[in-house]
Structure 1
Amino acid sequence: MSTWMKMSLPDSASPIMEQLIFFHDHTLFISLMILSTVMYMMMMMFKNKLINRNLNENQMIETTWTIMPALILVTIAIPSLKILYMMEEIINPVITIKTMGHQWFWSYEYSDKNQIEIESYMEKKKKLKKFRLLDVDNRISLPYLTQSRMLISSTDVLHSWTIPSLGLKMDAIPGRLNQISMIINKPGLFFGQCSEICGTNHSFMPIVLESVKMKYFIKWINK
């Protein structure tokens, strides 16, 4: 879980988040290389007191600084498109959860198994022990290493269902059903919050997903 002292991205708990972190590092390295090159050229130009009359309308320089940015953009675009296709792909989900955003809480429905409906509100201050503004009274549960799908919509205004450590973010739009696919690598609690300004209590509708073994999930869903 991220804290205010942490500067890096949250630890990944899904293949998608791993790819997003790799892409972030890849793009950051390219950006730093561009920055250092431009800074070096600017410093050399400040030190150079001579004027090269052949520098104006130099075709080789024009060609170079046109082709080089195009190649850089290609090296960024290819892995970016690959991740986008991975995030959109739905591969035979074992479990489907329907998620609805409300002002200001989330509701969940496990409709393909036993009919289970959950309303998830932020935990009251009196009961909080550790996770301030992050814990909820009813957590959703999913088995790890299992392909799952989430259908997301809203009953009133725009919301956004987000869990950073899983690399998940999908808008909840009234009258429209969006879907995301996920597979979790490890057990644990994963926290998120609404990421779309949705009204007065926008900051008070957190998300908590609990990843467990399949046998514990089956036991929980059959209660």
Structure 2
Amino acid sequence: MRVTTLLAATVVALVAGIVTGSADMAFAAAGQPTDWALGFQDSRSPVMDDLIWFDNFLLVLITAISIFVLALLIIIMVRFNAKKNPEPSKTTHNTLIEVVWTVAPILILVVIAVPSFRLLYKQMEVPEADLTIKAIGYQWYWGYEYPDHDGLFFESLMLEDDELAEGQPRLLATDTEVVVPVNATVRLQVTSEDVIHAWAIPSFGVKMDAVPGRLNETWFRATEVGTYYGQCSELCGIRHAFMPITVKVVTQEEFDEWILWAKEEYAAAPSAYEVADVQR
């Protein structure tokens, strides 16, 4: 969890505990948002681990700078107020101070830039993948294709309130799920058939725009079995808020069984698009 929110989350936890009888709900869990939560959802991927570390690192740096600036202000107010200095200094410049306040911010920015670029590279450079999934955005649902498994394709729509099973979260559960094996590197290709969408799963640290006519790539490696939820994160029309994403992480054996089942279950499902014949 992000360090900045630890104190505030504790206070909210006490309030939540009084109101609802549970203090645990103040802290974001993995997989889905929770009531009264502050900060990131728990990490379930290497990229999200690094994102949380970088966020905490920036917090420490910014806190140190803020304390330093506050200390300087207090010293100036105490030592150089009008009562103690009836005749103010006529100093116009100080070369050493000017060099320090120019060089120090540059060094701070370099310290921030190095892990920032390293993280950016890690997000964008797709490692050798165990599985490829293509996510296609539509108004307002997602289609998924597994090119490595005979082009397996299915669509995923949000469950309405009267369709929810016990334990399924409202506005996040879908009628079908993206299924991936745990600890497998998944190459995710993202595109759209109409307007710009964005495929995002907070616990994986993944967010990629789905742009019509363009194929964007990213990746994730889920490190724990479970069900994880996300949503379209690009305003895409009147039902933008009703375009959730469900990813189910299972063991390799369960994934192999699901693939066999899905090939039969979705064999008759019509493709959402057709490739036109081109005559030359």
Report the TM-score, using the length of structure 2 for normalisation: 0.77
- Larger mean CA deviation between 118-127 and 163-172 belongs to 118-127
Helix, strand or coil: the match of 1:181? strand
Aligned to 2:147: 111
The one of 171, 184, 188 equivalent to 2:222 is 184
Aligned to 1:220: 258
Note the alpha carbon deviations across 1:169-194, whole angstroms, 9 max, x for none: 00000000001111111101111001
The structure richer in strand per residue is 1
* Superposed counterparts of 1:132-147, under 5 Å: 132-147=170-185
The one of 32, 36, 52 equivalent to 2:89 is 52
Report the TM-score, using the length of structure 1 for normalisation: 0.96
Structure 1: how far apart are the matches of 2:198 and 2:153?
Answer: 20
The one of 109, 114, 127 equivalent to 2:163 is 127
Shift of 1:64: 0.5
- Larger mean CA deviation between 206-215 and 120-129 belongs to 120-129
- Letter of the 1:170 counterpart: M
Q: Is residue 114–residue 222 contact of structure 1 (8 Å, CA) maintained in 2? A: no
- Letter of the 1:132 counterpart: R
Note the alpha carbon deviations across 1:86-142, whole angstroms, 9 max, x for none: 111222212111110000000001121133111100012102233011100001100
Aligned to 2:190: 152
- Larger mean CA deviation between 32-41 and 69-78 belongs to 32-41
Note the alpha carbon deviations across 1:27-60, whole angstroms, 9 max, x for none: 0111111111112222222222233333x21000
Structure 2: how far apart are the matches of 1:122 and 1:79?
Answer: 38
Q: Is residue 114–residue 221 contact of structure 1 (8 Å, CA) maintained in 2? A: no
Q: Structure 1 unaligned segments of length 5 or more: list them.
A: none
More contact order relative to length (CA 8 Å, sep ≥ 6): 1
Aligned to 2:29: none
Aligned to 1:102: 138
Q: Structure 2 unaligned segments of length 5 or more: list them.
A: 1-31, 262-280
Aligned to 2:46: 15
Helix, strand or coil: the match of 1:75? helix
Helix, strand or coil: the match of 1:19? helix
- Letter of the 1:60 counterpart: L
Q: Is residue 193–residue 207 contact of structure 1 (8 Å, CA) maintained in 2? A: yes
Structure 1: how far apart are the matches of 2:259 and 2:151?
Answer: 9
Q: Is residue 162–residue 195 contact of structure 1 (8 Å, CA) maintained in 2? A: yes
Shift of 1:146: 0.9
Aligned to 1:203: 241
Q: Is residue 92–residue 147 contact of structure 1 (8 Å, CA) maintained in 2? A: yes
Q: How many residues align?
A: 222
The one of 79, 91, 100 equivalent to 2:127 is 91
1:63 aligns with 2:99: yes
Runs of 4+ in structure 1 over 6 Å off: none
Structure 2: how far apart are the matches of 1:119 and 1:141?
Answer: 13
- Letter of the 2:43 counterpart: S
- The alignment-based identity, stated in percent, is 38
